[in-house]
A and B are shown apart, each in its own frame.
Chain A
Amino acid sequence: MEFDMAHLARLSRRDPHDPALKDLSEDLASIVGYVGMLTAVPDRTPEEVAREVTVGAGLVLLREDAVRPSFDRAALLAASPSNEDGCYAVPVAIEKGVAK
């Protein structure tokens, strides 16, 4: 199977020009070839799958909808690579005067 590695890289927010993608393409071919045997699994209705795929207790319990203390804002910002004026600092996403 041939893979569009540049497309997969973009989907996974990777550099599509990363030279390591060539080796990964070979690994992917081997792994996908192996997991391809899954296509032989007998079909089931989505309802059957949904019911049977629940794991463990198979329950989802929600917590009480109550106000409670949250994280300290300064502690969260301190974990970031950079921050300014109480906000996460990121590169400019929309530049002035370049609209087309």
Chain B
Amino acid sequence: MSASSDLVRLDALELAARLRCREVSSIEATRAYLDRIERYDGTIGAFLHVRGEDALKDAESAQHLLDAAASGGPEAPAFCGVPVALKDNLCTQGIPTTCASRMLEGYIPPYDATAVARVKASGAVLLGKLNMDEFAMGSSNENSSVKPVRNPWDATRVPGGSSGGSAAAASASFAAFALGSDTGGSIRLPAAFCGVVGLKPTYGSVSRYGLVAFASSLDQIGPLTRSVADAEAVFGLLAGRDPHDATTVERPASAVAAKRGVKGLRVGIPKEFLTDAVQPEVRDAVKRAADWLSAEGAVCVECALPAVASWIPAYYVVSSAEASSNLARFDGVRYGHRAAEYDSIASMYSKSRSEGFGAEVKRRILLGTFVLSAGYHDAYYGSAQKARAHIRAGFDGVFRDHDVLLSPVAPQTAFRLGEKSGDPLQMYLQDICTVGASLAGIPALSVPAGFDGEGLPIGLQLTGPAFSENVLFDAAACIERSAGCRGRFPDLDRAAAAAKGA
């Protein structure tokens, strides 16, 4: 392999193959990624913690396994020696895990999340932990208490959130792949804004053990990658039953079926997401993708999704209610920030929480507290649960006639830093296309499908019934083949110059 800039741009599966045949070493690959992070992450802000020498030591260990396998020893695991990075809400034993919050500054978990353990078992080398919206609450990554993340394609724009660091890291070739978490679109939205593939799996596919909880009935961990094949491979290693998460199940046999392509696939295109409120280039991308799918034998028709108007209200009520309960544990006693001055245990709690949480987290805790409070519970939380049941039933009805839904991920491409941060409601509306799948617990994937007139990536969403990830991968692969986005990478020197000029 020649230049390190070529090495870091390889897809994870391609790099894994070259490592196995020892065309390149894990140490060489890890050093190439660390050099790139050192050179460019001052502009992008994707990492909160870089492991540096520790990553190189892990690369050495991985290389021993690869060398042993090449000498006739045991086969090396799937991603042996491949450098990867993780969102900072995944617990990593001995490595800081802060959720980009002052509340968890300095927290070092005593255990690995199951997803982290599975990535480690695959032989991957952990480069570090990635920036995010504080406690995964946000759609632009401007809510990090440390620093915002910038979009590698245009550093004056947001990368999307909350897994903005993960998407930016995959897009900027700071890691072969990244893991993120998705509660209402937090993998799919940044994947779309940064031009990478992002999967929110079926609820129950991937263990949430060790994922710092935001909204437990919605949270799922998933991959952000530079190819559909990588997303499928990483999902394959993450998915499966975990005794530590009672909601996890083994994937049904039908969900791991062999490739079947898109011939005969019934693709529905919800007309609710093709209105004038959507950027024309994004609408055009949906129509182009439908043509590509049709050319390979899919049958694409417009369809109607019921109850779309209730998606955002139901999501923000349910997720904020669950967040207000989950974040009650941060009281300054067992871990996290504790106020320096207080005069009673009650004031220690309130001062620690007031100092430790940022504005958006406080906003959602208050909203969640309000919708669960006496006198308002039935009108808000109860109604949101009823709406959720209607939304789920609506999807069930649509999937009787369609195998997969094709839509935008967001109404527009990446917006400018600061453009929407002053109006929380406008920011929440970014999730209009994504929260439905979250409320229904069904899988949805974002795949790059072209660029707008300003050179910003356009991502399209594929949504299917529970455990239909294999169908989503087939459809996404068709779009990937036709869109010609693979092999196009952001110019980070230009991004650095734009960031300086901003």
Contacts and interface: CB of A to CB of B under 8 A. Distances in A.
Contact of B110 (A14, A62, A76): A76
Contact of A81 (B332, B379, B380, B386): B332
B64 interface: no
B380 A56 contact: no
A11 to B, nearest CB: 5
B324 A90 contact: no
Given A31-B367, A34-B425, A91-B342, A56 B390 contact: no
Contacts of B203: 55-57
B12 to A, nearest CB: 26
Given A55-B217, A60-B246, A79 B385 contact: no
B335 A80 contact: yes
Contacts of B393: 52
Contacts of B117: none
Given A15-B351, A28-B366, A79-B110, A61 B373 contact: no
B157 interface: no
B389 interface: yes
Interface residues of A, number: 57
A79 B107 contact: yes
B466 A56 contact: yes
Interface residues of B, number: 77
Q: Identify which of A54, A55, A82 gathers the most chain B CB atoms within 10 Å of its CB.
A: A55
Given A63-B246, A72-B110, A20 B359 contact: yes
B1 interface: no
SS of B interface (majority): helix
Interface string A53-85: 111111111111000000110011011111000
Contact of B249 (A11, A38, A57): A57
B390 A41 contact: yes
B103 to A, nearest CB: 11
A14 B370 contact: no
Contact of A44 (B334, B349, B389): B389
Contacts of B346: 13
Contact of A93 (B108, B324, B345, B388): B345
A36 to B, nearest CB: 8
Given A13-B350, A60-B246, A37 B388 contact: no
Interface string B428-451: 100000000001111000000000
Nearest to A62: B246
Contacts of A16: 350
A23 to B, nearest CB: 8
A79 B345 contact: no
Interface string A13-40: 1111010100010011011101111110
B392 interface: yes
B337 A27 contact: no
A88 to B, nearest CB: 6
Contacts of A24: 359, 362-363, 366
Given A49-B385, A57-B466, A8 B110 contact: no
17 contacts: A5-B366, A11-B373, A14-B366, A28-B367, A35-B317, A35-B371, A38-B383, A42-B386, A55-B392, A57-B467, A63-B244, A76-B110, A76-B334, A80-B333, A91-B344, A93-B344, A93-B345
Given A28-B366, A91-B348, A92-B345, 6 more contacts: A8-B373, A14-B366, A28-B367, A34-B425, A36-B313, A91-B342
